[in-house]
């Protein structure tokens, strides 16, 4: 098993810890990965919200077409509890 010193690699976080100071190293790829994950989560939330809005409008339209009591605006219509 090769040691870091033998292979020529240095680990700044390890060497800083051995000197007594706590250093946090974050690579650019880690930052980019976190940003991409956050963007994906935001996109999923937007898709879910749009789906909910479409379903709410569809429910309102169906209730209105069937003669079920509705409000004047589709976005204020609330489903009756079962």
Q: Is residue 82 part of a domain?
A: no
Domain count within the chain: 1
Domain that holds residue 49: 4-76
Mean pLDDT per 10-residue section of the chain, whose length is 82 residues: 56 53 80 96 95 92 91 82 70
Q: Is residue 65 part of a domain?
A: yes
pLDDT of the residue at 49: 93
pLDDT of the residue at 69: 87
pLDDT, tens digit, 9 for 90 and up, residues 47-58: 999 999 999 999
Q: Is the pTM of this model over 0.85?
A: no
pLDDT of the residue at 78: 80
pLDDT of the residue at 4: 55
Instruction: Spell 33-71 as b/e; 16+ CB within 10 A means b.
Output: eeeeeeeeeeeeeeeeeeeeeeeeeeebeebeeeeeebe
């Amino acid at each position: 098993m090769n040691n870091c010193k033998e292979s020529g690699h240095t680990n700044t976080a390890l060497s800083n810890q051995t000197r007594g100071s706590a250093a946090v190293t974050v690579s650019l790829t880690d930052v980019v990965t976190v940003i991409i994950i956050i963007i994906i989560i935001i996109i999923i939330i937007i898709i879910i919200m749009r789906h909910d809005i479409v379903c709410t409008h569809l429910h309102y339209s169906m209730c209105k077409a069937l003669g079920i009591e509705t409000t004047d605006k589709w976005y204020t219509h609330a489903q009756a509890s079962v």
